[in-house]
Amino acid sequence: MDIKKTLKKRPAFTIFLVLLTGLYSGYFLDIRIFLIGLFLSIIGFLIKRKDIALLIVLFFSAGVFQSSRIPPRGQIIYFRGFYLNNRIIDPVFGELYAKIPANCGDFVKGSGKFTEIRGFSKLTKVESIKSSPTILNKLFSLRKYLDKRIRGACPGDIGEMCSAITLGVRESLPSYTYKRFQTCGAAHLLAVSGLHTGIVFAVIFLFLKVLQLKRNPALLISGFFVLIYAVFTGLRLPVMRASIMLLFFVIGESREKNIDPLNTLCAAGIFISLLMPGSIFSISFQLSFLAVFSILIMFNILKEYLEKIPNKWYKKWIIIPFFLTLSAQLGTLPLVAYYFGYIPLIGLIANLILIPLTGALISGCFIFFLLPPLRGITGNFTWIIGFTMNKTMITIEKIPYVIIKVKKNEPLLLIIYLFYLIFLLTWAYRKTKQNNIITR
């Protein structure tokens, strides 16, 4: 692979891979190895100024950056950041899970004992808490109010599910409902991510177009509201990734420039990795990025086959959603098995049904908020959609052998997944190379 050509065509992709490799290595290797490597790589770059030498400098810099910021388990650390839904968003340590006496949206300072369980960084024995209110408190007060309105319009388990999917409020979601989503391979629908932000963006954009607003202002306003929505739903890593990607898309569309999706995904990854280097070990970061990465690579591979399908309606509403769901499932299946110990056999079919229903549910909730006079109609519509989703999952749950249980944290699953990624990258590279030869 030509490094210079790859850097020129997809700079963020190359930089993100090197940065990610360095950050992961920095967690497992001694910082002294990286300091020596950094010193030698800088000398090498000064002697021979090549792109590959600069990437080596980046690798060792990322290793030093990570090694100096990941504390050993059991160590007392000092944190400062925003408190959101039993999580402290710290710029050094990333997401720290802890229950502390503070309001959602407060800026907090303190100390606690660092522990890590299956990718979740937790704090115990938290002391010296100091909290101060911020503008985020009002935003979360509004979220609490909207949550109450949804539960009022959709009582019972349906309201809990609607609130979890739309607002990211999952604290009171019944365990059996969450298990239904897991069994159907659709637990990702409860994590506000690209699907949710895309729907929110589309609803707001269409609403502004109905109000006769011009295209570029409508794009920018919709993008701004998506950023608010990211904070509103708890600023979790999947929605951060999706929001950054969407922001790049809005900027590109407003300036009428084509934005490379893979480059955009990696740019979002670089931003989050530098802002919170510890977040790369979280399950949400890995599943979110790998799902989108798999979709983009698979679509690049299957692009020429999709173009041969003559029926546009069939391709748009049947084939493309099928491949989107299949790609995301293949991209995350080994990691789901590794972290959660099960493989949903019917996940592909379940998602083909549940994803469109989720889109309708989120749209119904936002119209419910945007048009108060129609709350009776939209509330009933949302309840019917939620009821249909629940009944669908109950039906799927009763199918024999709907999931296969496997051993958690099995290293063989990661080895299989590594080979899968190498296979995808190699195939995508060869396809790109073939297309370039044909074009010439």
* pLDDT of the residue at 241: 87
Give the pLDDT confidence of 323-359 residue by residue, as tens digits.
888 888 888 888 888 888 888 888 888 888 999 999 9
Q: Are residues 260 and 390 in the same domain?
A: yes
Shared domain check, 363 and 262 = yes
- 334 and 244, same domain (yes or no): yes
With respect to residue 12, please indicate whether it lies within any of the assigned structural domains: yes
- How many structural domains are present in the chain? 3
Q: Let me know whether 264 and 406 are in one domain.
A: yes
> Which residue range forms the structural domain that includes residue 31?
3-67
Residues 301 and 156 in one domain: yes
Same domain membership, residue 148 and residue 128: no
Residue 424 lies in a domain: yes
Over residues 86-96, the pLDDT tens digits come to: 888 887 777 88
Q: Are residues 51 and 159 in the same domain?
A: no
User: What is the pLDDT at residue 158?
Assistant: 93
Per-residue pLDDT for 3 more than 60? no
Mean of pLDDT values over 208-222: 88
- 351 domain-assigned: yes
pLDDT digits (tens, 9 = 90+) for 155-200: 889 999 999 999 988 888 899 999 999 889 888 888 888 888 988 8
Considering the entire predicted model, what is its pTM? Answer: 0.83
Average pLDDT over residues 22-41: 89
- pLDDT, residue 237, reads 82
State how far the Cα of 399 lies from the Cα of 397, in Å rounded to an integer: 6
- Output the average pLDDT for the chain: 84
Confidence of residue 6 (pLDDT cuts 50, 70, 90): low
398 and 274 inside one domain: yes
Percent of the chain with pLDDT over 70: 94
Residue at which a domain ends, from 134, 149, 182: 134
Is residue 435 pLDDT above 70, yes or no? no
Residue 440 placed within a domain: no
Say whether both 203 and 102 belong to one domain: no
390 and 329 within one domain: yes
What single string gives the DSSP state of each residue in 176-240?
HHHHHHHHTT-GGGGS--HHHHHHHHHHHHHHHHHTT--HHHHHHHHHHHHHHHHHHTT--HHHH
- 128: three-class secondary structure by DSSP: strand
Kindly state whether residues 200 and 115 are assigned to the same domain. Answer: no
- Kindly report, residue by residue over 236-265, the tens digit of the pLDDT: 888 888 888 888 888 877 776 777 888 888
352 with 204, same domain: the answer is: yes
Per-residue pLDDT averaged across 281-285, rounded? 82
Choose one of 27, 43, 67: the last residue of a domain.
67
C-alpha distances (whole Å) from 433 to each of 15, 174, 264, 301, 308 are 21, 50, 21, 12, 20
Q: How far is CA 225 from the centre of its chain?
A: 18
Which of 67, 87, 106 is the last residue in one of the domains?
67
